[in-house]
Amino acid sequence: MIEVVAELSRGPVFLAGEALECVVTVTNPLPPTATSASSEALAWASAQIHCQFHASESRVAVPPPDSSQPDAQPESQTVFLPHRGERGQCILSTPPKILFCDLRLDPGESKSYSYSEVLPVEGPPSFRGQSVKYVYKLTIGCQRVNSPITLLRVPLRVLVLTGLQDVRFPQDEAVAPSSPFLEEDEGGKKDSWLTELAGERLMAATSCRSLHLYNISDGRGKVGTFGIFKSVYRLGEDVVGTLNLGEGAVACLQFSVSLQTEERVQPEYQRRRGAGGAPSVSHVTHARHQESCLHTTRTSFSLPIPLSSTPGFCTAIVSLKWRLHFEFVTSREPGLVLLPPMEQPEPTTWTGPEQVPVDTFSWDLPIKVLPTSPTLASYAAPGPSTSTITI
């Protein structure tokens, strides 16, 4: 029996273009006092990163995978297929890397191997939607002599920041202060430089603040004014808005605002179309605020963007966009008064109306949501950084 442990040194969340570091430890768990006949051997071990794509058959019409590349091989064949047995299609993978060959471990002996690979920048982000799913995994394959291959899968979460694909690492200029007493390889410098560049771009895109005002009206007049200070956010930030109802000519009885994602299948891949030939769209609500606002002059709300959610993106099959979805309930009666008179000559009993004729309408405001620091995402929504399998 051999125990194989894969540990991600920095957590399971990465930015596309970063280098993934994983330590693979192989151990013979028998006590050192066991006989030499208890030595264990592995023929080889290899590692590879891949992205699996799975689509809902009722929503997406995806062409079948290439039949010349079967998704599984007989167990007797020594072919390392990281996506063997996985649902969907493997749309992206890195070249496989051999960790070791002909490894023999005595009882109690353990050996560790380091695996490093740059996550491709051309792939989609990790996403689990109602129509499609993009799932990243690091798969480690091990095999004994004359035995089937055993696969150890480590789940990953990949964030994609648009624009980093075209950035080139500077070769002739220093990207950070250097010290003659410290040694740093070129890969480490590039990874650190890319992380700093992504942080700078995220900060520049989301730190700009400017008040945007929107007049909200229905068919009978102005309801109020909505104000928001920015339209670009990062995962983990709060969307803060204000609503001024004091200037409205139409009384607003209640409103709600929802932070939603809109998953839209591209027209050429749609399986079913909505009414009137509308694109196939599904919505997910991540946060919601509701308030009764009759006689309210000004109010505000704050909606948190979950760190576990997926930033907006677009592929050839699906797009994901963020929005604020408003719903208003307004009175049909002009000058509606539902409060008792303030001055009464003598005590009286006042009863509010049992029924109020109302109208409802909705309004959508698009916003943009970008990734955040992978380290922050790992701390806020921790996932498994260590996976173990016994052979």
Q: Is the pLDDT of residue 173 over 60?
A: no
Report the pLDDT averaged over residues 365-387.
Answer: 84
pLDDT of residue 377 exceeding 90, the answer is no
Label residues 260-295 b or e (16+ Cβ within 10 Å = b).
bbbbbbeeebbeeeeeeeeebeeeeebbebeeebbe
Contacts 24+ apart (CB under 8 A), 310-314: 310/125, 310/126, 310/127, 310/129, 310/261, 311/125, 311/159, 311/160, 311/235, 311/369, 311/370, 311/371, 312/261, 312/368, 312/369, 312/370, 313/124, 313/125, 313/127, 313/160, 313/162
DSSP H/E element including 128: strand 127-128
Decide if pLDDT at 288 tops 80: yes
What's the pLDDT at 71?
47
In which band, very low, low, confident or very high, does the pLDDT at 80 lie, cut at 50, 70 and 90?
confident
* Closest by CA position to 111, among listed 179, 26, 191: 26
Alpha-carbon distances, residue 232 vs 203, 235, 273 (angstroms): 10, 10, 31
When pLDDT is averaged across residues 334-359 and rounded to a whole number, the result is 71
* pLDDT category of residue 351 using cuts at 50, 70 and 90: confident
Distances (CA, A) of 16 to 165, 312, 361, 371, 382: 9, 15, 41, 11, 19
Cα separation, 346 vs 363, in Å, equals 46
Query: Residue 108: what pLDDT?
Result: 87
Question: Is residue 192 pLDDT above 80, yes or no?
Answer: no
244: pLDDT strictly greater than 50: yes
Residue 64: pLDDT band with limits 50, 70, 90: low
pLDDT at 107: 87
Residue 193: is its pLDDT beyond 60? yes
Q: Given this model, what pLDDT does residue 63 score?
A: 67
Tokens of 157: 């979460």
**pLDDT of 311:** 95
What is the bridge-based pairing of β-strands 110-118 and 19-27?
Answer: antiparallel
- Who wins on pLDDT, 124 or 69? 124
Q: What is the pLDDT of residues 122-135, one digit of tens each?
A: 899 999 999 999 99
Mean per-residue pLDDT over the chain, rounded: 83
Query: Which residues have CB under 8 Å from 256's CB, separation 6+?
Result: 288, 289, 290, 291, 326, 327
How many helices (H) and strands (E) in the chain? 2, 21
Q: SS3 for 381?
A: coil
Q: And the tokens for 143?
A: 């095999």
Q: Give every CB contact of residue 231 below 8 A, 6+ residues apart in sequence.
A: 212, 366, 367, 368
Range 238-259 average pLDDT? 93
User: The dihedral of CA 220, 222, 223, 229: what is its sign?
Assistant: positive
Instruction: Give the pLDDT confidence score for residue 285 in this predicted structure.
Output: 97
Q: With a cut of 80, say whether residue 344 has pLDDT above it.
A: no
Mean pLDDT on 259-279: 76
pLDDT grade for 355, boundaries at 50, 70 and 90: confident
Span 149-172, average pLDDT: 74
3-state secondary structure of 385: coil
Q: What percentage of the chain has pLDDT greater than the value 90?
A: 49
Say yes or no to pLDDT of 391 above 50: yes
Residue 214 has pLDDT above 70, yes or no: yes
Q: Which of the two residues, 190 and 215, has the higher pLDDT score?
A: 215
- Please say whether the beta carbons of 4 and 391 come within 8 A: yes
Strand positions, DSSP E, 184-251? 212-218, 221-228, 232-234, 238-244
Rounded to an integer, the average pLDDT of 90-117 is 92
Averaged pLDDT, 172-193: 48
Q: What is the mean pLDDT of residues 365-390?
A: 84
